[in-house]
Each structure stands twice: as C-alpha cells, then as structure tokens.
Amino acid sequence: MICRRFRFISAFIIAFLALFCATVPQVNANEEQNTLSLTSEEKNYISSHESFKVGYVQDRIPVSFSNEDGDADGISRYIFDRVSELLGIKFEYVPLPSGDVTYDYLLGEGFDLVTSVEYNEENKKARGILISNPYFSSRKVVVARDNLEFRYDADWSVAVSTGSQTLRNVLAKMFPNFELKDYDTISDCFDAVNTGDADLMIQNQYVVEYWLSKPEYEKLNVIPVVGLDDRLCFSAVVAFDNQAGTSQQDGQILIDILDKAIAAITDDEVGNYTIQGVMENQYEYTLWDFISRYRYSVGIFVVSSFVILILAILLVRQRIRFAESKADAKAKGRFLSTMSHEIRTPLNGLIGLNYLMSHKLEDKEKMEEYLRQSSVTAKYLLSLVNDILDSSKLEEKKLKLMIHPVELELVIETVSSIEQNAMTDKQLKYTVHSDLIYPCVMGDEVRIQQVLLNLLDNARKFTPEGGSVKLSLKQEKTDSNKVLTTITVSDSGRGMSEEFQKHIFSVFSQELETVSKGNQGTGLGLSISRRLAQLMGGDLTCVSKKGMGSTFTFTFAAEPVKPSEKAKVKIFDRERVRPRVLVAEDNELNGEIIIELLRSEGFEAELAENGKKALQMFADSAPDTFNVILMDLLMPEMDGFETTKAIRALNRDDAKTVRIFACTANSFSEERDKAFASGMDDFITKPVNIEELIKKLYK
C-alpha cells in the first residue's frame, strides 16, 4: 500500500516536469488546418458550423470542472482550447448535470459533443456511440481507508458515482466479485469510503490527489491498480436509430476532424496543460480545515481556558484557607510559590504556542509540533487540577472510596501497559514479580491504580537511562478476615537525601535538586498517595539512599473475594458497526465539539440542548435508533438525573437497554452515586478523554 505521501510525490514530479515542457507556438488557423491535412469535405463541414455545443463533467477537479465564474476549467478545457485553435472552430462549453446523463437528454438539448468519455473497446463497439482517440491519459487509482490491504480477488464494496457508468461497466467486467454501490457524486463516493459505507473507490489519480488534500479525508490512502488507465476522449452525440444515417455520417466526420487535431498535440503540450491544471487548481487550505484537522488540539485549547479558570479559583481558595491558620506556614508558602511557577510556566507556553500558531498556519510540520506541545501542556494543567481537588477532599475528609471486587493482576497489567512505552523510550529495564494468594479483593480499583501510577511515574522520571525499575506484589493474612497486600516499587535512580526523606510525604514537598533537573511536578502526588493508602487501611513508606535508588512500599488491607464471572460484552466491529449516539449537552460549544469529534470517528450523533429535548428526541425515535446517550448532569428544563429516570420509565424495550453515560465536570462520589441510582450505566468526567470514550462506545 502506498501512503498518503504518494500524492505529494506525484505533485513534485509534475512540478519537475514543468521545467522541460515547451511553450506552444501560435499560428494562423488556416495554416493549422493545412498542417492537419484536412480534406475539402472536412473543411466545408467546419465552415458550415458557427460553433459546437460541448457538454463537460463538472466534478472532476482538476481534470474537468466549473470554476467560480461557472466556466469550464481544468486540464480538459486547456486541451479543448488547443483543439479549437488548431481547427479554427468555436466550442460552446455547457456543464452536464450530476448523475447518469442519458443520450436522449443529450440529443434533446442539442449537444454536438460530450467530453471525458472513457476510451475502451466497449464504447468503440457500442451502437450509435462515436468516440475519438484519447486526448488525455492518466492512471486510475484505488482510494481506501488506511487499514485496508487491497486484493483483486476480495469481495470489496466499491463506490461508483452515477455519472461514471462506463467505469461501472468496466469494473463489473474486470472484477465480477466486486459489489458496486451507486452514489450521486464523486464527493459522495469519498464520503462513503471515509465512513466505511464502502470499502473503496476507483478514480483518476489527479482527481484523487485534489480530494485527499482535504483534512476530512486524512484516513484515506491511495493504492495504484495495474491495468486500469484513465483515457478520456470526445463522443459525438448522434441518434441511435438506423434512419439517422446523415447524423451518423456527420458525427463520424466530426470525430475524424478531432482525431487529426488530437494527433497534432504533442506529449509536451499535454504535459504542460496537466501541470497547469494541477498547479492552478490545488485545494486551498482554509481556517476551518485547520480547525477540523487539529480538532482535538483546538478542543484542548478551549478546555485549557476552563482549567486555568478553575486553577485560579482553587488558588484563591487555598490562600484563604492558609490565611486562617499559621500552622505549616513555611510549607504553605512554598506551595504558593511552587503553584505559581507550575501554573505560569505552562500558561506561558500555551500563550507562546498560540502566538506561533497564528503566524505559521501554512507550515504543517510546525503546526503539528506546536499542537503536540500544547496537548502535553494542557494535560499537565488538567492533572494539576485533579491533584489539588484530591488533596482538598482528603484534607476535608470528603473523599470516599468506591469499593468493588478488584482483580489485582489486571490492575498491574493496566498500569504496566501505561508506563511501558515511556520506560522503553528511556531504555529502563522494567520487571514485575507477583506472589498473590488472593488475586481478587474488595477495594477501590481507581485509587489503587492512582497510587501505583504515581510511584511508577516517579521511579521512571528519577532513574537515568539504562537503569531499572521493579514492581513486586505479595500478600499475607491478618488477624481479621482481611488480607494485607504489599506492593513495592524499587528503582536504581539517584535516590534522596536523608533530610528530604523526613518531609517526602508532606503536602507540596519537592526536593530542590529534582526541580532544578527539570522534573515537573507540584509535590502533591506522594502526599495524596500516602493518605489514600491510609484510607485503605494501609500505608506508604520509603527507603532511599543518595545515589543508590529508592524503594516505596504501598500496603492496604482488604477482604478477599472470589473472581467474579464477567458478562460477555458484545464488541462492535470498528470498521462496520458504530452505535448511534444522542448527546444531551446544554453548553453549545461543548455540544458542537463532542458531536464533531464523534462524527469525525464515523459515529452518527445528534445533539439535544437540554434534558427535556433529549427525552423528547428519544421518545419520538424509532426503537433502537439510539444505542448510547451521553448525558450532562446539570441542564435547564430537566437535569440529567430526571431525564434518565424519565427515559427508563418509557414503555418501550430499548428504554431499558440503551446505554446512558453520565458526562459531567463533577467528579465527586456523591454525583457518581446519584448518577448510578438514577439508572445510568457509566460515568465520564470532563474534559473528556476521547480515546477512552471511543473504547466505551465500541462495547
């Protein structure tokens, strides 16, 4: 399979060839006719016609199309003008309507010629169809999604525009195993392949290069096909019946004249026209295309604004609380200094990146790098908010554990998969040793993962390249009916001073040396992790020696249980079946973003601006129209809880089975409990992790 770079390479080759294309000399029309060796009959035929009405297709940029002024344009038009110049005749260009154009229509409208007809033996032998020799030749290519491996013997579904019936006949003959699906326009064909409604389409390579420049088709690739050339010619419009002898004769004279003109046009001239058509009709990259192309990162910028506002509010709140007590004044002062640095640094980066982006819109490589950096920065700001919220809830003793059966091996597998790539990039040897007697215990899976990820992330950050990180698990029975799980994370990193180890679990504590080495952080992670461990009936301790590495030991007590039988969940085929989603969201911007994100991934999605509208749309829909509902909790008219209860109470089967996900910025356990109590199936916090949401939607 050839990547999307194929079309850029093709454009480069075309530009290179332009250096060698000769300009066309202009001479008198009578001299041109003499050069073509026209017969007296052919000259009389030309002189007896003031002009010829020529029908052209208008959706084949840059080969044949209507420009902004409604005039014929493209490579074909340049060649037609040269034919007109050679013969001393006038062409009246008229666009053909979209879809399948019949000969009855062409005869009724008085067309003399039709262009962009495919040259093949079937057309040459067809009764009543008179075609010229090809005036333009190029390749046909296959267009398919980036994960398709093209095979000639596969049962592909192929999108064909109704205006390309000759191509349809050729494909049906060459590939009888293909399922040919008709669409009104070439644009519809591209959309069908892009959404997975069709496996592939086949079209002229220059047309494909133009369309694939559009950001919405970034997942499509080009595959060359052997034995499929695109040779375009003129067709004379003549009557089909046997009594139309005069018409047939006149049509043949016209075709003979055109063949002589086509033969007189050199390959250099055609190459020059091709270059002109491609270069003058490239797709223009718009601001909306930029937003669409980088929709995730643009969304991150929007979310970052809200994150920064939340941070500002939290900082003010912390300052007020610190002012009420003089205890730990030094640590709290250090927190304010650190937080100021941690917020201002990424905020300065976002502002700087925004400025650079506004001046580099046309530089795609620069834009991709700026957006990657902004994504990392925004995610860091979000993690900062989460840490402050967790710290605040722990201090106020408002954080509640969500106790469910936890399969510890699965937890270890999950955190290891998250950290593995970063470990590998840093060339760290990462090992896991597990000695569990009760692999399933009652606990808060999310909080256990949070502690482990914090310990592994620190071990990775503070261990130089070529070092090692080890994760070990063991268990032992306690006097009660619980089991004590001990998890250790050891590294061969730089270690810590004895003085710093005395304060390592203090709020906002961070060793100056580690900060100076560029390890970003607020010093909240270990403090939060230790308090979470203590909330679970355990503890978090550390043993470290300067230059010799560190070992953190995380313990928690839990009741052992038998692993539960997990229900088999139907997984949707990502390429074929996508659930239809109803989004209930009162914030217009958030609603537009989530709808655009879902549609860009191939999902069908509709927006309801409040809970009452969502209830009405679901009640008015046919059964099983919507498979998933993303439900905001705080909405006018009806909130998410009321709407969910009302949907579940409807007298229809799908009201009980439709999956309803809470989608909210409130992550408190009280909101989570209330959401499940109202009948919701899952809980998603904002800003939405798009990858995680997509995974949930495919289940």
Which domains does the chain carry? Answer: 5-284 (3.40.190.290), 288-395 (no CATH), 404-558 (3.30.565.10), 581-697 (3.40.50.2300)
Instruction: Say how many C-beta atoms besides its own lie within 10 A of residue 88's C-beta.
Output: 16
Q: Which distant-in-sequence residues (6+ apart) come within 8 Å of 458 by Cβ?
A: 525, 526, 552
Distance, CA of 658 to CA of 2 (rounded, Å) = 41
Orientation angle between helical segments 445-461 and 525-535, nearest 10 degrees: 150
Distance, CA of 611 to CA of 588 (rounded, Å) = 14
Percent of the chain with pLDDT over 70: 71
Q: Which distant-in-sequence residues (6+ apart) come within 8 Å of 276 by Cβ?
A: 75, 78
Give the 3-state secondary structure of residue 366: helix
Amino acid identity for residue 347 in this structure = L
By the 8 A CB rule, do 664 and 680 touch?
A: no
**φ/ψ (deg, to 5) at 608:** -115, 130
Give the 3-state secondary structure of residue 622: coil
Q: Report pTM.
A: 0.43
Amino acid identity for residue 57 in this structure = V
Where is average pLDDT lowest: 21-25, 427-431, 518-522, 540-544? 21-25
Q: What is the mean pLDDT of residues 495-501?
A: 81
Where is average pLDDT lowest: 191-195, 512-516, 618-622? 512-516
Task: Classify the phi-psi angles of 684: left when phi > 0, otherwise alpha if psi is within -120 to 50, otherwise beta.
Answer: beta
CB-neighbour burial class of residue 132 (10 A; exposed 0-12, middle 13-18, buried 19+) = buried
Structure-block tokens of residue 90: 């006038």
pLDDT in tens, 64-122: 898 888 899 999 999 999 999 999 889 999 998 877 677 778 888 888 888 888 776 66
CB crowding 1-38: b at 16 or more within 10 Å, else e: eeeeebbeebbeebeeeeeebeeeeeeeeeebbeebeb
Structure-block tokens of residue 664: 């909210």
Helices (H), 37-74: 40-47
pLDDT in tens, 291-333: 555 555 656 666 666 677 677 677 666 666 665 555 455 555 5
Q: What is the mean pLDDT of the chain?
A: 78
